[in-house]
């Protein structure tokens, strides 16, 4: 490593990040419903643990939008159920952080980091895009200057907008709305037109958020915005907190224990997903299991300092990456600057109009909400992936965040089961003058070998798809299936079973079927038995079965299951081309093997 170069780059990135982080921390505190200074605590203390334990060099740990909105719903539920006073809200968020951290530490001890791969990119994209709608909705009060009613449970967003639109014309504080529109337009203009140029030239965006905060404080004090019915932040303490153990009563535990689990899963999933992106870009590896320990320790440690749950922020991590941050020294400099802000500059941030914080939060959602564009990419690649995105997004928006998470995970896993249960199947043909074999239906150049059918099964073979294998083999080779006679039925034509309807098989031109096993990574006992039945029934139709591209592990299991007693060793070939050459050059030998058998 270039120590001097890393130090300078990380110092500049740390300063850049802190300038962006401070106003964002105030805004996230508003989302959660805790005092503004707790947003600064959350920006500082958990990050100290990640510096020591994290494996991603670019992830920025702290408050982030998705978990903030989930925590705000926990707060709303706890306040409603337990009738808590305002001064107990910090204890609720700290307890949620503590429980989330404990969950993650337990996951780490159980080495469950690898399970993060089951939460697909399309699920994460749809979920975060859906949550961004909830976050934008949570800022309506700050933007329009009146208290919008919020709801919990299913269809909470629908109820909120019904309440909002019935009141917006009569209760909007128009000076606040004008202030918000001006702030959003200015911040967006800088983000779109100025920042790309500055990031290319000096790797630092223009600190428009901090500038807008400073200007709004000046305007607030100069024109007494509080006296003109603007909501402002007051009484920001300028001292570091004393460590305190969150008080978790049995009632509070019951109120937050399930939601803390959902928050833990979301926080570490996004952390690992982002970490893998930066690791690929910069050429290093992250440890998913170590990230469980790191994010868990962040949440546990932060809970003792009045912090709410944390994770890796998408906008800040992207900024840390784009600003040239090379190591977690960026976070160290960030922590130092935030500590200075808390101790020395806290009172200077008093009188911030909440409308400016809401404007900053809304603009910061642009990067997350633009993930809606991901849908078209997922849909173009795979309709199944596109449906995962759609189901997750709309479940999150229409139901609520927690139910959206559950629906998205379940649907995503069901599509995985579907893909495994019904993999792609093709008949293969040869590209002339080559030894390449490709799907006939996809490549017009591919030609079918006379007298030979090459059947490709594009996935593992197991009890869940063994019958699918049998059916597809019959359908693709014109043997069996609903429009042809089933070879198993033909075997039973002399039986007295009323359940079997036998019809004579169509004249079959193929004499040999080559099973392409190159994509079959494993088989089980049930599928091996089905394979034996298929081969035996096809033999009785006068067909020869060969196997190509079978891995040693799969071949070993097939031998144990007795398949090699039916498909003899000479009929297992390393490649499809070897099988085709053997069959076409000396077909009598192949048929003779089965005749002897």
Q: Residue 253: count other Cβ atoms within 10 Å of its Cβ.
A: 12
Q: Give the pLDDT of residue 498.
A: 36
Q: Give the pLDDT of residue 2.
A: 65
Report angle CA 477, 480, 482 to the nearest 5 degrees: 115
d(CA 17, CA 47) in angstroms, rounded, equals 13
Q: Give the pLDDT of residue 379.
A: 92
Q: Which residue has the tokens 């870009």?
A: 281
At residue 582, the 3 state secondary structure works out as helix
Report whether 365 contacts 65 (CB < 8 A): yes
d(CA 460, CA 548) in angstroms, rounded, equals 15
Q: Which of 549, 557, 552 is nearest to 579 (CA)?
A: 549
Tokens of 537: 């029934």
Q: Which of 370, 405, 395 is nearest to 262 (CA)?
A: 405
Report angle CA 32, 38, 40 to the nearest 5 degrees: 110
Give pLDDT tens digits along the chain (597 positions).
567 767 888 998 899 899 989 999 999 999 999 999 999 999 999 999 999 999 999 999 999 888 999 999 899 888 888 888 888 999 999 999 999 999 999 999 999 887 777 778 899 889 988 988 998 999 999 999 999 988 877 898 999 999 999 999 999 999 999 999 999 999 999 999 998 998 888 878 898 999 999 999 999 999 999 999 999 988 888 889 999 999 999 999 999 999 999 999 999 989 998 898 899 888 899 999 999 999 999 999 999 999 999 999 988 998 888 888 889 999 999 999 999 999 988 888 889 999 999 999 999 888 777 778 889 889 988 899 999 999 999 999 999 888 998 999 999 989 888 888 888 899 999 999 888 999 998 888 899 888 899 999 998 999 989 999 999 999 988 875 433 344 443 443 444 433 333 333 334 467 899 999 999 988 998 999 999 999 999 998 889 999 999 999 999 999 898 888 888 888 999 999 999 999 887 654 443 333 333
Q: Which of 149, 169, 145 is nearest to 160 (CA)?
A: 149
User: Residue 544 forms beta bridges with which residues?
Assistant: 512
Task: Tell whether domain 425-494+502-596 is in CATH 3.40.50.2300.
Answer: no
Q: Which of 305, 171, 176 is nearest to 245 (CA)?
A: 305
Domain segments of the chain as ranges: 3-162+229-356+371-418, 425-494+502-596
Q: Residue 556: count other Cβ atoms within 10 Å of its Cβ.
A: 12
Q: Give the pLDDT of residue 585.
A: 77
d(CA 353, CA 214) in angstroms, rounded, equals 11
Q: Give the pLDDT of residue 433.
A: 87
Q: Give the pLDDT of residue 504.
A: 34
**Neighbour-count burial of 567, counting CB atoms closer than 10 A to its CB (0-12 exposed, 13-18 middle, 19+ buried):** buried
Give the predicted TM-score (pTM) of the model: 0.78
d(CA 278, CA 440) in angstroms, rounded, equals 40
């Amino acid at each position: 490593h270039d120590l001097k170069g890393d130090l300078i780059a990380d110092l500049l990135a740390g300063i850049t990040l802190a300038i962006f982080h401070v106003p964002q921390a105030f805004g996230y505190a508003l989302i959660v419903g805790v005092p503004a200074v707790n947003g600064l605590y959350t920006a500082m203390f958990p990050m100290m643990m990640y510096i020591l334990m994290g494996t991603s060099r670019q992830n920025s740990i702290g408050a982030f939008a998705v978990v903030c909105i989930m925590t705000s719903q926990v707060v709303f539920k706890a306040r409603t159920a337990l009738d808590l006073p305002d001064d107990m809200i910090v204890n609720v968020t700290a307890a949620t952080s503590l429980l989330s951290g404990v969950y993650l530490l337990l996951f780490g001890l159980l080495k469950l980091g690898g399970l993060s791969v089951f939460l697909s990119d399309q699920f994460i994209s749809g979920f975060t895009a859906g949550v961004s709608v909830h976050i934008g909705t949570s800022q309506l009060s700050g933007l329009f200057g009146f208290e919008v009613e919020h709801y919990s449970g299913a269809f909470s967003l629908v109820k909120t907008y019904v309440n909002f639109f019935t009141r917006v014309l009569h209760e909007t504080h128009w000076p606040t709305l004008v202030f918000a529109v001006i702030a959003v337009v200015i911040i967006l203009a800088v983000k779109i037109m100025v920042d790309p140029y500055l990031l290319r030239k000096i790797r630092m965006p223009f600190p428009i958020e901090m500038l807008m905060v400073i200007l709004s404080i000046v305007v607030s004090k100069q024109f007494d915005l509080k006296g003109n019915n603007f909501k402002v932040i007051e009484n920001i303490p300028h001292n570091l907190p004393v460590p305190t153990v969150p008080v978790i009563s049995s009632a509070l535990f019951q109120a937050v224990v399930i939601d803390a689990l959902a928050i833990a899963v979301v926080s570490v999933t996004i952390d690992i997903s982002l970490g893998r992106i930066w690791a690929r870009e910069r050429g290093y590896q992250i440890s998913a299991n170590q990230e469980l320990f790191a994010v868990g320790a962040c949440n546990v440690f932060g809970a003792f300092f009045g912090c709410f749950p944390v994770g890796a922020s998408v906008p800040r991590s992207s900024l840390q990456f784009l600003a040239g941050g090379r190591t977690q020294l960026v976070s160290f400099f960030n922590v130092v600057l935030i500590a200075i802000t808390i101790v020395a500059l806290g009172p200077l941030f008093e009188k911030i109009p909440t409308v400016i914080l809401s404007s900053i939060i809304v603009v910061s959602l642009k990067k997350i909400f633009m993930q809606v564009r991901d849908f078209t990419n997922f849909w173009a690649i795979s309709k199944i992936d596109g449906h995962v995105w759609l189901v997750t997004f709309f479940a999150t928006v229409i139901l609520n965040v927690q139910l959206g998470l559950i629906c998205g995970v379940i649907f995503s896993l069901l599509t995985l089961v579907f893909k495994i249960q019904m993999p792609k199947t093709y008949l293969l043909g040869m590209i002339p003058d080559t030894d390449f074999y490709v799907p006939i239906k996809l490549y017009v150049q591919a030609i079918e070998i006379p007298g030979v059918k090459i059947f490709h099964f594009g996935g593992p073979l197991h009890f869940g798809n063994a019958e699918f294998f049998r059916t597809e083999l019959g359908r693709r080779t014109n043997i069996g299936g609903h429009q042809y006679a089933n070879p198993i039925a033909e075997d039973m034509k002399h039986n007295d079973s009323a359940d079997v309807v036998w019809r004579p098989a169509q004249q079959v031109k193929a004499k040999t079927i080559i099973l392409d096993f190159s994509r079959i990574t494993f088989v089980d006992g049930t599928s091996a038995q089905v394979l034996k039945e298929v081969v035996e029934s096809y033999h009785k139709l006068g067909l020869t079965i060969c196997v190509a591209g079978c891995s040693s592990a799969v071949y070993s299991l097939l031998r144990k299951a007795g398949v090699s007693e039916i498909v003899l060793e000479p009929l297992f070939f390393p490649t499809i081309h070897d099988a085709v050459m053997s069959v076409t050059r000396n077909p009598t030998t192949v048929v003779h093997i089965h005749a002897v058998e």
